[in-house]
């Protein structure tokens, strides 16, 4: 389904649900004040228990439909991020790739000293790799005293 059609469908479902809840509240507000309920709204008053059950089911159904529409969109975005991550990884040197993979394994955050402990990596090499990845916009470096915390950018964190 087209993205715009999905958005319109979700908005229509939510709007109908809100409209029906408004009618229900309106009918109860009128009847609680002792005013006479208009002829058009009397079925809502007479069958209020049935209407409330139907509204409960409609609320759950509309929630499930909107969730499934949004979930499909999120899954498409995650797939696009994974594809982009694969493309990015092809352009990185082996050392850069090792650092990014370590970050993704660690949930997107690690220290520079932990990067220096990778096989074949020295403290100087780790510093240079981190500096190069930061310049490319792949990671962020946050300094906490003498400790450098390395974080992968949020867009790539979801690919892990």
- The CA–CA distances, whole Å, from 12 to 18, 72, 123 equal 10, 18, 58
Q: What is the CATH number of the domain that holds 102?
A: 1.10.10.10
pLDDT digits (tens, 9 = 90+) for 95-112: 999 998 898 888 889 999
17 and 60 co-located in one domain: yes
Provide DSSP, 14-29: HHHHHHHHHHHHHHHH
pTM given for the model: 0.54
Res. 39 pLDDT band, cuts 50 70 90: confident
Range of the domain at 114: 93-157
pLDDT digits (tens, 9 = 90+) for 2-38: 777 877 877 888 888 888 888 777 777 777 787 777 7
Which run of H or E residues covers position 139? Answer: strand 139-144
**Which of residues 58, 88, 118 is at a domain's end?**
88
Quick check: 145 and 68 in contact, CB under 8 A?
Answer: no
């Amino acid at each position: 389904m087209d993205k715009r059609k999905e958005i319109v469908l979700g908005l229509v479902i939510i709007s109908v649900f809100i409209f029906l809840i408004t009618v229900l509240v309106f009918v109860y507000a009128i009847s609680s004040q002792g005013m006479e309920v208009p002829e058009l709204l009397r079925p809502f008053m007479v069958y209020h228990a049935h209407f409330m059950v139907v509204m409960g089911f409609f609320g759950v159904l509309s929630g499930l439909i909107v969730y499934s529409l949004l979930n499909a969109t999120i899954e498409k975005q995650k797939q696009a991020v994974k594809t982009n991550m694969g493309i990015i990884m092809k352009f990185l040197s082996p050392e850069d790739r090792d650092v990014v993979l370590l970050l993704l394994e660690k949930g997107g955050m690690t220290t520079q000293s932990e990067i220096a402990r990778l096989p074949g990596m020295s403290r100087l090499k780790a510093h240079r790799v981190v500096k190069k990845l930061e310049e490319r916009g792949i990671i962020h470096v946050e300094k906490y005293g003498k400790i450098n915390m390395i974080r992968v950018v949020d867009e790539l964190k979801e690919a892990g």
